[in-house]
Amino acid sequence: MVLFVLLPNLLVIATSFLSRDDVHFIRWQVTLRNYLRLLDPDYAAVFMHSFYMGLVTTILCLVIGYPFSYLLSRMKPGLKPYLFFLVIVPFWTNSLVRTYAMKLLISTNGLVNQALLGLGWIDEPLRMLYTEGAVIAGLIYILLPFMILPLYAIFEQLRGDLLEASSDLGANTRQTFLRVVLPLTMPGIIAGCLLVFLPAVGMFYVADVLGGAKNLLIGNVIKNQFLDARDWPFGAAVSLFLTLAMGLLLYAYYASVKLIRRSDTHAALA
């Protein structure tokens, strides 16, 4: 833990307060300049756009993954391993390769456009590549299993007798969902959202391959600073900012969950 978690993080934190050097990457001169640069409207806009794309990706993954996981968990025991296998299969191919495969599919002369043209549904190729939608679709494609896995795990734990009890006590399907299924699967929802959102804003190669110049993720900014602009201290500052923002989000999430619980108890006391 110390070697692989603490030490690298300390190095990043230290680096973020140092100055840039063209030859040695880092000059031993303490400064806050890197953090002030974060306030630059250009960067702020990139961050906002990145968060927005991450959020859309997460929500869509949840919307697709939640019913999918539910159905998967209700399948016949004999069928489950095979369906589950299908969820896992994509992991066997590197996600970068899959991203390029997706590029081939949706490019101007790609399979999708040719199929649509062939069917006569469109007259000229759709521009799908290098759009915001392409990035989001790519992110969903790669990250959906990370939503499904924790949700599936929690649906597997969901006790059938609780659903029967709810129905027995007069609750209809909607009430049972809102008052029993949703609260009891909330840990899976939170875990899935974090597992999708955190990588989503960092997956620079998806934005690189599918997004073009306009649809940058925070990951692109970090990667550019380290590899292209050779500004390690600023790159470190950006990644630290990302880490802190995530931490804040996590905290807000847990705080709100706690609050919901407490208000329930209060209602009970009243």
Partner 1 sequence: MSMSQDRKKIIEFNGISKSFGNKQVLPPLDLDIYNGEFLTLLGPSGCGKTTILRLIGGFEKPDTGRILLEGNDVTRLPPNERPVNTVFQSYALFPHMTVFENVAYGLRAERVATDDVNRRVSRALEMVQLVEFATRMPDQLSGGQQQRVAIARAVVKGPRVLLLDEPLSALDFKLRKQMQIELKRMQRELGITFVFVTHDQEEALSMSDRVVVMREGRIEQIGSPRDIYEAPVNIFVARFVGEINVLDASVRQLLDDRKLIADVEGKSLELISHKGRFAENQAIHILLRPEDMRLLPESSEQGFPGQIIERNYKGMTLESLIRLDTGRELLASEFFDEESPDFDYRLGERVRVSWVPGWETLLPNETPNPV
Which residue matches tokens 């990667």?
Answer: 223
The answer to whether the CB of 216 falls within 8 A of the CB of 148 is: no
Cβ distance to partner 1 smaller for residue 32 or 162: 162
Task: Name the minimum Å distance from CB 228 to partner 1.
Answer: 49
Cβ distance to partner 1 smaller for residue 127 or 262: 262
Cβ distance to partner 1 smaller for residue 117 or 171: 171
Cβ distance to partner 1 smaller for residue 162 or 227: 162
Task: Name the minimum Å distance from CB 157 to partner 1.
Answer: 11
Residues in the site for partner 1, rule: CB under 8 A?
A: 159, 161-162, 164-172, 175, 179-180, 183-184, 264-265, 267-270
Rounded Cα gap, residues 145 and 129, in angstroms = 23
Cβ distance to partner 1 smaller for residue 3 or 268: 268
Backbone angles phi, psi at 125, to 5 degrees: -55, 140
Cβ distance to partner 1 smaller for residue 64 or 257: 257
Distance of alpha carbon 77 from the chain centroid: 30
Distance of alpha carbon 81 from the chain centroid: 26
Cβ distance to partner 1 smaller for residue 60 or 180: 180
Task: Say which amino acid occupies 241.
Answer: F
Task: Name the minimum Å distance from CB 171 to partner 1.
Answer: 4
Task: Name the minimum Å distance from CB 186 to partner 1.
Answer: 9
**Which residues are CB-contacts of 221 (< 8 A; sequence separation ≥ 6)?**
43, 46, 47, 235, 238
- CA proximity to 157, closest of 190, 177, 181, 191: 181
Task: Name the minimum Å distance from CB 150 to partner 1.
Answer: 18
Task: Name the minimum Å distance from CB 67 to partner 1.
Answer: 21
